[in-house]
Structure 1
Amino acid sequence: MKLLAIPDASGKTMLWINAEHLVSVGRIELHDGREVRLIAELKVEGMPLQRIELGAYSSPQEADTPWASFLARLEA
C-alpha cells in the first residue's frame, strides 16, 4: 500500500490517502477579482468528495506551477 500525503495551502499534511483508491483529481479556480484561489478536488473510493485549498495566486498562470507540483506529488 502506498499512502499519499495531501497538503493544504501551508504545506501541512491534512489527509493521507491510499494511492490505489484515488479515483479522480480536478482543478478548481475561484476568482474574486483580486486573486485566484486554487483548489484540488479529489475523489477517493469510499469517501465523500474532498476539496483541498492549495493557495491564492494573482493569476491562473501563476497557479500553474503549484498545480503541476501537486500532480507530481500524487504521481510519485
Structure 2
Amino acid sequence: MITQRGVVSLVLLAFGFVLMLASYFGLAAPWGFPPDAVRYSNPRLEFAPALFVLGVILAFLSAVVYELWPERDGRER
C-alpha cells in the first residue's frame, strides 16, 4: 500500500510535470506557420520559462519530500 509520503511525492511530481508540459507547449513554444516568423518565435506569456523552471523544481522537490517526510511505523498511537 502506498504511504502518505508517497502520495504527497507523487502529487508534487505530477504537478511539476503538468506545469512543465503546459508552460512549454502551451505558453512558451507556440506553433504556427511560417515557422520562421517573429510572431511565433516569442513566447505567449513572458514568464513562461519561469513556470517551466518552477515545474522542474517541483519535480526535484518531490524526491526531497519523499526522503524527509517521516514514515509511519504502522502502530496506533
TM-score by structure 1 length? 0.30
Greater share of strand residues, 1 or 2?
A: 1
- Computing the radius of gyration over CA atoms, which structure comes out larger, 1 or 2? 2
Between Structure 1 and Structure 2, the one with more helix by share is 2
TM-score, length-scaled by structure 2:
0.30
